[in-house]
Amino acid sequence: MEYKLMGRKNDIAWLLAEEVLVYDAQSALDFIATAQYETGCDKFIISKACFAESFFVLSTGIAGAVLQKFVNYRKKVAIIGDYTGYTSKPLQDFIYESNKGNSIYFLPDIPQAVGKLDGAQ
Protein backbone atom coordinates (compact mmCIF):
# COMPACT_ATOMS: atom_id res chain seq x y z
CA MET A 1 0.00 0.00 0.00
CA GLU A 2 1.08 3.54 -0.68
CA TYR A 3 0.41 6.48 1.62
CA LYS A 4 0.85 10.22 1.74
CA LEU A 5 1.49 11.72 5.17
CA MET A 6 -0.60 14.80 5.89
CA GLY A 7 -1.66 17.12 8.69
CA ARG A 8 0.17 19.67 10.79
CA LYS A 9 2.33 16.96 12.36
CA ASN A 10 2.41 14.54 9.40
CA ASP A 11 0.48 12.14 11.63
CA ILE A 12 -2.34 11.39 9.17
CA ALA A 13 -1.84 8.68 6.57
CA TRP A 14 -3.87 9.07 3.37
CA LEU A 15 -4.18 5.69 1.68
CA LEU A 16 -3.52 6.21 -2.02
CA ALA A 17 -5.73 3.42 -3.33
CA GLU A 18 -9.09 3.04 -5.01
CA GLU A 19 -9.56 -0.74 -4.93
CA VAL A 20 -11.67 -2.59 -2.36
CA LEU A 21 -9.50 -3.42 0.65
CA VAL A 22 -12.05 -3.51 3.47
CA TYR A 23 -14.92 -5.96 3.19
CA ASP A 24 -15.21 -7.37 6.73
CA ALA A 25 -13.82 -6.97 10.25
CA GLN A 26 -10.70 -9.06 9.56
CA SER A 27 -9.74 -7.06 6.46
CA ALA A 28 -10.19 -3.86 8.51
CA LEU A 29 -7.90 -5.25 11.19
CA ASP A 30 -5.36 -6.23 8.51
CA PHE A 31 -5.48 -2.69 7.13
CA ILE A 32 -5.05 -1.11 10.57
CA ALA A 33 -2.05 -3.28 11.44
CA THR A 34 -0.36 -2.80 8.07
CA ALA A 35 -1.01 0.94 7.84
CA GLN A 36 0.17 1.65 11.36
CA TYR A 37 3.29 -0.47 10.86
CA GLU A 38 4.13 1.19 7.54
CA THR A 39 3.38 4.79 8.58
CA GLY A 40 3.42 4.98 12.37
CA CYS A 41 0.12 6.89 12.17
CA ASP A 42 -3.07 6.44 14.18
CA LYS A 43 -5.21 8.60 11.87
CA PHE A 44 -6.19 7.50 8.39
CA ILE A 45 -7.93 8.89 5.33
CA ILE A 46 -9.41 6.19 3.13
CA SER A 47 -11.43 6.51 -0.06
CA LYS A 48 -15.01 5.22 0.04
CA ALA A 49 -14.01 3.08 -2.96
CA CYS A 50 -11.77 1.00 -0.66
CA PHE A 51 -14.85 -0.30 1.18
CA ALA A 52 -17.04 -3.07 -0.21
CA GLU A 53 -20.46 -1.76 -1.20
CA SER A 54 -22.01 -4.12 1.39
CA PHE A 55 -20.35 -1.93 4.05
CA PHE A 56 -22.92 0.77 3.21
CA VAL A 57 -25.89 -1.57 3.71
CA LEU A 58 -26.26 -1.32 7.48
CA SER A 59 -28.41 -4.44 7.75
CA THR A 60 -25.35 -6.56 6.86
CA GLY A 61 -23.63 -5.49 10.09
CA ILE A 62 -20.35 -5.02 8.25
CA ALA A 63 -20.07 -1.28 8.93
CA GLY A 64 -20.54 -1.79 12.65
CA ALA A 65 -18.00 -4.62 12.82
CA VAL A 66 -15.43 -2.77 10.71
CA LEU A 67 -15.73 0.57 12.49
CA GLN A 68 -15.65 -1.13 15.88
CA LYS A 69 -12.12 -2.32 15.02
CA PHE A 70 -11.00 1.27 14.45
CA VAL A 71 -12.56 2.36 17.75
CA ASN A 72 -11.22 -0.62 19.73
CA TYR A 73 -7.68 0.03 18.52
CA ARG A 74 -8.03 3.80 19.06
CA LYS A 75 -7.61 4.75 15.42
CA LYS A 76 -9.30 7.72 13.78
CA VAL A 77 -10.55 7.36 10.23
CA ALA A 78 -12.08 9.66 7.64
CA ILE A 79 -13.80 7.84 4.79
CA ILE A 80 -13.95 10.25 1.88
CA GLY A 81 -16.35 10.19 -1.02
CA ASP A 82 -19.73 11.19 -2.34
CA TYR A 83 -22.55 9.92 -0.14
CA THR A 84 -25.38 11.78 -1.87
CA GLY A 85 -26.37 8.69 -3.88
CA TYR A 86 -27.36 6.75 -0.76
CA THR A 87 -31.04 7.15 0.05
CA SER A 88 -31.18 4.88 3.09
CA LYS A 89 -32.40 6.91 6.06
CA PRO A 90 -30.60 4.64 8.57
CA LEU A 91 -27.31 5.10 6.65
CA GLN A 92 -27.79 8.87 6.47
CA ASP A 93 -28.44 8.92 10.22
CA PHE A 94 -25.39 6.70 10.84
CA ILE A 95 -23.18 9.05 8.82
CA TYR A 96 -24.61 12.10 10.60
CA GLU A 97 -24.04 10.61 14.06
CA SER A 98 -20.54 9.37 13.18
CA ASN A 99 -19.54 12.84 12.01
CA LYS A 100 -20.60 14.28 15.38
CA GLY A 101 -18.19 11.95 17.19
CA ASN A 102 -14.42 12.02 17.38
CA SER A 103 -13.26 8.77 15.75
CA ILE A 104 -15.12 8.03 12.52
CA TYR A 105 -15.93 10.57 9.82
CA PHE A 106 -17.67 10.35 6.45
CA LEU A 107 -16.53 13.39 4.50
CA PRO A 108 -16.58 14.56 0.88
CA ASP A 109 -12.92 15.45 0.36
CA ILE A 110 -9.32 15.47 1.55
CA PRO A 111 -9.23 19.04 2.95
CA GLN A 112 -12.23 18.40 5.21
CA ALA A 113 -10.78 15.04 6.29
CA VAL A 114 -7.45 16.59 7.22
CA GLY A 115 -9.23 19.39 9.08
CA LYS A 116 -11.29 16.92 11.15
CA LEU A 117 -8.41 14.54 11.85
CA ASP A 118 -5.97 17.36 12.69
CA GLY A 119 -8.40 18.42 15.41
CA ALA A 120 -9.00 14.86 16.67
CA GLN A 121 -7.04 13.82 19.74
Q: Would the pLDDT of 8 be above 80? A: yes
C-alpha span between 79 and 86 (Å, rounded):
15
Amino acid at 26: Q
pLDDT band at 105 (very low <50, low <70, confident <90, very high): very high
Secondary-structure percent of the chain, ordered helix, strand, coil, rounded to 5: 50, 20, 30
Domain count, the chain: 1
Please list, in sequence order, all residues whose beta carbon lies within 8 angstroms of the beta carbon of residue 30, skipping any fewer than 6 positions away: none
Average pLDDT over the chain, rounded to whole? Answer: 95
Residue 15 lies in a domain: yes
Contact (Cβ atoms closer than 8 angstroms) between residue 1 and residue 34: yes
pLDDT band at 46 (very low <50, low <70, confident <90, very high): very high
Q: Would the pLDDT of 121 be above 80? A: no
Residue 120 lies in a domain: no
Q: Would the pLDDT of 120 be above 70? A: no
CATH number at residue 100: 3.30.750
Residue 118 lies in a domain: no
Residue 38 lies in a domain: yes
Residue 83 lies in a domain: yes
Owning domain of residue 8: 3-113
User: Which pLDDT score is estimated for 109?
Assistant: 96
